[in-house]
Amino acid sequence: MKFLIYFFLLATSFAFFASGKDALDWWQTTVLYQVYPRSFKDSDGNGVGDLKGITQKLDHLKDAGIGALWLSPIFTSPGVDFGYDISNYTQIDPLFGTIEDLRELKSAAEKLGLKLLLDLVPNHVSNESEWFKKSVQKIDPYTDYFVWVDPKKDENGTRQPPNNWLSDFGGSAWEWREERQQYYLHQFAVQQADLNYRNKHVVQEIKDVMRYWLDQGMDGFRVDAVTFLFEDEQLRDEPLSGDPGAEPTDQSYLKHVYTQNQPATFDMVQQWRALLDEYSSKDHSTRVMFTEAYADLDNTFKYYGTKERPGAHFTFNFFVIEYIKNTSTADDYENITSLWLKNIPAGDWPNWVVGNHDQHRVASRVGPGLVDAMNALALLMPGTAVTYNGEEIGMEDTFISWNQTVDPQGLNAGPQRYQLFSRDPERTPFQWDNTTSAGFSTSNTTWLPVNSNYKWLNLQKQQEDEDSHYKVYKQLVQLRKTKTIQRGTTHTAAVTQQVFAFVRALDGEVTYIVAMNVGNSSATVDLTRSFSGLPATATVVVASVGSTLVRGTNQTTSALTLAAKGFVALEGRT
């Protein structure tokens, strides 16, 4: 107790689990790993990753210490948005394999003690789905499965979309269909038609899809684009955002008060949670739901639901991704981590995400020097850690020319602006070794080019090297197994402009002190000025690649020297 009070006085302090004697559930202590199936491992040499490939590489996840994986969509799809435009929710796209391949993957994962989650994409389906085709023809019950609206006429009598809503991929969110003489809503690509959640059949269909996959033994879902489920019934125009960098066709040009985070959305998430809980209670193995919501803090937390009516097990914490840049100072790190920790409602479970298939690689966004520090942040902060495939070895964005661009978000932006929007750079194949196509495929050509740095940046090399991002990653994952990291209090501080640090402590257990120098020059800091009650010396347990802070050596906490971009985790007793 003395310890806690000391910390409270000097650093920002969070005590989620200090008193928690309850057992933690599998999804709380695990590392959740995102597999982007097209780019993970190609088993049949066609240049695109597949389910058999994932099964072949499960040992890697086990070796890294990961406990659960989620797969970006593997269902039948024309592939306009690479699987996020689903035409049949309960069939596997032949590109990825068969239902048997998924069953094999599931049973291989189970043998290794890995949980398997699928991506549920409830907001929209492909315009090539039977649902959409029948809806266009007004065949019941599909007639109102989508958001169909009559046109507006301007003063010249010319047909206009019903309002100013914009698509996330640029341009109007409305597309005209001659056959129906109506517009349909698409908040993403034209080929991704928004489902109408005010239609009770749609609500039932998606619940049936969830049941279908839960009956196949899946452990839960990552839920895609959940903020977009419902829209304003009055179809009101959205106000301008005032963002000076936004073109009138960019989604960021408007403030999404009528198309995102509508009250009914939270209720739907709570209904889905009830369905999952029904399965969980049957065999006492928790089926989980993690929601993807790029939202402000208030709305982000609303997806968790309430104590009486829970929603998501967690909604991804995208604040580090959104606000930490290569120019960020220690204060920025302090602000962004404590923003989440200070505001998360009591009883809700935190999580840390540093990368995904929609965001530039950590090495390119924050800088190659901070790869280890960012992994340490995600893995040692309280809560679940989420890793996007390739971040464990510090993969970098790949330059993709306009001619090579395939991402619809990039394509819609045109040759001049595509790099501002394209997500291709972070989606290139996983770099397993230095053989053909980085060991991803036997084919020389792959759906997106392999990064030319694979010769020296690959998993095999990092397994062999004494000191590598992967070795650091594995050590960090091991630290998560300690009681302190799983349950300890958290104290964060910007020690100087350059050094951000946090301390994880638990009565009767070892204390961990994590310090990262986000600046461009080496720095010597006195951690005891920010955190009282620290031991005078502590032992290095993990340090960034190339660090002179050798594992097992003792360091003085009042004079700790960190190289530029270096990070260290120290273990001590108070």
Q: Which residues bind ligand GLC (CB under 6 A)?
A: 81, 84, 121, 188, 224-225, 292, 357-358
User: What letter represents residue 19's amino acid?
Assistant: S
Q: Could you tell me which of 424, 448, 413 has the C-alpha nearest to residue 170?
A: 413
Buried b (16+ CB within 10 A) or exposed e, 235-247: eeebeeeeeeeee
ω into 141 cis (within 30 of 0):
yes
The nearest distance, CB 275 to ligand GLC, in angstroms, is: 21
The nearest distance, CB 228 to ligand GLC, in angstroms, is: 8
Tokens of 135: 């809806």
Report which secondary-structure segment, H or E, holds 32.
Answer: strand 31-35
Report which secondary-structure segment, H or E, holds 539.
Answer: strand 537-543
- CA separation for the pair 318, 303 (Å, rounded): 14
Widest CA span of the chain, in angstroms? 79
Helices first, then strands: H and E counts in the chain: 18, 26
Q: Which is nearer to ligand GLC, 84 or 349 (CB)?
A: 84
Q: Which is nearer to ligand GLC, 128 or 358 (CB)?
A: 358
The nearest distance, CB 535 to ligand GLC, in angstroms, is: 43
- CA separation for the pair 247, 17 (Å, rounded): 45
Q: Which is nearer to ligand GLC, 219 or 292 (CB)?
A: 292
Active site residue 224: yes
- CA separation for the pair 50, 325 (Å, rounded): 33
The nearest distance, CB 84 to ligand GLC, in angstroms, is: 3
Name the closest residue to ligand GLC (Cβ): 84
Q: Which is nearer to ligand GLC, 41 or 357 (CB)?
A: 357
Q: Which is nearer to ligand GLC, 225 or 373 (CB)?
A: 225
Buried b (16+ CB within 10 A) or exposed e, 173-193: bbbebeebebbbbbbbbbbbb
Catalytic residue among 250, 292, 334, 407: 292
Q: What share of the chain is helix, strand, coil (3-state, %, to 5)?
A: 35, 20, 45
Give Cβ neighbours of residue 276 (< 8 Å, ≥ 6 apart). 210, 214, 220, 287, 288, 289
Q: Which is nearer to ligand GLC, 81 or 93 (CB)?
A: 81
Q: Which is nearer to ligand GLC, 115 or 357 (CB)?
A: 357
How many CB atoms are closer than 10 A to CB 142?
21
Query: CA 235: distance to chain centroid?
Result: 30
- CA separation for the pair 335, 323 (Å, rounded): 10
Catalytic residue among 93, 224, 391, 392: 224
So which residues are the catalytic ones? 224, 292
